[in-house]
Structure 1
């Protein structure tokens, strides 16, 4: 399959601080890619470089077979949705969505048809004549999305567009955004620091750490096969053990030394002895109710905390017990070697 967006060796520094470090990746047409990472990892800066809002010191950007790194933002044919909407408060919903089309001098009939098609897609047809300051946060973000799509860009960039919304509205917009993306077969690159959000809406997730992409995988692969300690600890609630800890409980990993870290996903931990598992003595410290989930916090004799989530109807357990792990369920991750220069 031909790459639709290609980025090669993109680097950017602010003064002596390296923000992006020789980043390279490809995106396919119609793909939904999420840039995921903690604050300061460079994900929003990378998005701004693609849009032309930041100028990298080196690197090549190609979109739909055309080099765009020297083009100004307005000539890149890219849509951008910001976190804080960037709408015109004195305009109606219709006027906001049609703004870019008027600037391109589109005829009125074609413009009206396109705007109302988009308003129907984002479920705002009845609000066409409403001024945007009267809308809720979720509705404003729908307007921003429709406005960005109105000019039919080749690719749509979204910089944490849902982070300012409350949880219920955010979850609904996640579903709606994915539906719209599939409906239009639109190539989208989405930025977030929310792991659950990234896993829910993406075809692939690119995890960034300190200006580098450390893993680019499907959500399933990212969760089940992390390639570094950073990814294993950033995605989900994996519990980490070193070799010395495990050597107290099982001989399976004897001799492997400190070259690796060992992770287990919490849903694979059992409170019942199962053939082939090894046991870890723990003490139950407290129980937290999270809606339909109960979170049990255990502590090992080394003071390590282990959280196990179960449905509310799970049986009660005594304060002192064992947890059981199948060694084959553990994820073995190489520890990066530090080279002293």
Structure 2
């Protein structure tokens, strides 16, 4: 396991090892505010070279799930400082993941005046949990006007500035899991006929504008993006394989030219090699995630596609994951019943060596 635990240096990513704690929604942010319990949770996992936080809302409309944090108010920005301080005290870099849930939300989870929005009025199938009313069907989203799309982009820029003010080393745009950024990419969800829909160039425009404008505001070396090509999470219907390939090849090329810090790829068996090859032309760091074990992660690094590897469930259940990898100790298994419940159980009470 030598490679996993060796330092990594590329651009501004100066990391003590190649282990990344993947972003994981944990729903502990009461009133959408980071708190001491969350700071303790992240502090326990600072064996990672890089932590990417749970998805965090850049605006009130983005708070689609119960108890997820935001980064759009002064109170939220200040509350995050305890988390970043804990990471930096341990020599760990920490990026904030910006997640706008788009149509994957419900009014019962949103503050007064906020609404469920999307690129089009295409409703998602299925149900979402709300603390107020239990499971509820997804509503029909409000289709963003051109002016409102520009406002959403500006909200991401403001949130990125807030993240830097809170002490984060950078931000990651969540462009996967069927949330707003990926909703713009998918032609079955994005049925617009204006400059934000239709062609691949138009459907990638939202992603590229958000990244470009955030990079201009805080520095390209402080921006990363998460993608999961060919994923159908969030009720995303699959579309033409060649078109998917061309979409992510274009994104990788454009983002490489922008000079951002990294691409974070949620890998699956559905991604053909030619798409991985196109993504690897990206000049920055590539992080690979999804279902890795310490053994497969080490093999992944030696295979050459990824520079860093991210662990989700393994870091969730093993605060001292780096020590367990170093010693070959057995890993705790996650308790799936407490993934999203409020409180410390299944959150900060996993045993360490």
Give the TM-score taking structure 2 as reference length.
0.34
Name the one with the larger strand percent.
1
Name the one with the larger helix percent.
2
Give the TM-score taking structure 1 as reference length.
0.35
Q: Which has the larger radius of gyration?
A: 1
